[in-house]
Amino acid sequence: MTTPHPNPSPTLLKPIKPVGIIGYGAYVPRYRLPAKEVARVWTGKTSGMPIKEKAVPGLDEDVITMSIEAARNAMARAQIDPTELRAVWVGSESHPYAVKPTSTLVAEAIGAVPNTQGADFEFACKAGTEALVAAMGLVGSGMGHYAMAIGMDTAQGKPGDALEYTAGAGGGAYIIGPAEESLAVINSSYSYVTDTPDFWRREYQKYPEHGMRFTGEPAYFKHITEAATHLMEASGTTAKDYKWAIFHQPNTKFPQRVAGQLGFSMEQIEPGLLVPIIGNTYAGAAMIGLTATLDIAQPGDRILVVSFGSGAGSDAFDITVTDKVTAKQNLATTTREYIARRSEIDYATYVRFRGKLAMK
């Protein structure tokens, strides 16, 4: 006789042992490239921009250095010994090395080595939440007490392409642990994936390509609405049950539109809607949107988070904030403080920082 699976709902990803977020942290590079500056170079127009500006990494910044900064902020809020981390996982679509993990450098920098598990995750813009689901599984199974999941990316985009206006940099790091220690309990998650070719980059290609007609309806909107709807139906919730909602933000219009489709107000998504000022942070988009929301969340707040990754898929999370959040919020630099710390650059400086001119 087959033993029934302990998960009461076959549609939800819900660990046997309740888990939650015990620490979180963000990082956003200082430099900002105004969208009007990109338009000035390529079209001569300076109005009707999709965003105000985007964050750009400096010459000495990449996914590794930015992940380390976010990880240190998460550790500061978690207040645990780094050697207690049983996993350090980094999700990104701009890992610095083709063959060499990002995760081991991050683990080394924060003092988590050598008795830990390291891995790099890839799933376009949902690589970060993919790592988050894996961390839930590791802690929820009892294999480890704590695990770290990071979503981080650098600015990408072919010169003159539409992506160049919105492709920003930044991300977030989360430490998952037992629910009783958490500042926010992850009640459950749900993942929805299909083979939808809306965005890709083949090996040895420097810049990604996007299938224009697939980007909206069959990719972004279908996957986010399906993931969110299935999660809420299985959880017995509707939009009004959530104080806040965070949706993947490739631009300003998409998350606003999908929020309306799912019954959420603009007030519910406002704290996590960062794309107008830092751009699309790819694997870090949903992750950093959640950090900004946790910075201002209060005990009892319920949060819906839905990521999206091209190719394509979405991870949805139902989260409840606990009374431990208020003591943790000011233990590290907040997301809005990183955003406020800015230095404007011109297009020529951006080209130099991002290595867009091949010298050999």
289 phi and psi angles, rounded to 5 deg: -60, -40
5 among known catalytic residues:
no
Cis status of the peptide bond prior to 114, with omega within 30 of 0: yes
248 among known catalytic residues:
yes
Q: Which residues contact 239 (CB under 8 A, 6 or more apart)?
A: 232, 245, 262, 263, 264, 268, 304
Sign of the Cα pseudo-torsion (258, 240, 194, 207, in order) = positive
Q: Which residues contact 33 (CB under 8 A, 6 or more apart)?
A: 53, 54, 56, 344, 345, 346, 347, 350
Q: Which residues contact 283 (CB under 8 A, 6 or more apart)?
A: 91, 92, 93, 124, 125, 126, 127, 128, 151, 152, 153, 171, 309
The one catalytic residue in 37, 53, 61, 125 is 125
Tally of CB atoms within 10 A around 49: 18
Per DSSP bridges, beta strands 85-91 and 117-121 are: parallel
61 among known catalytic residues:
no
Question: Is residue 135 within 8 Å of 87, Cβ to Cβ?
Answer: yes
Cα 342 from Cα 58, distance rounded (Å)? 12
Give the Cα-Cα-Cα angle 147, 149, 151 (nearest 5 degrees).
175
Cα 331 from Cα 177, distance rounded (Å)? 18
The one catalytic residue in 37, 61, 93, 164 is 93
Question: Is residue 263 within 8 Å of 289, Cβ to Cβ?
Answer: no
Active site residues: 93, 125, 248
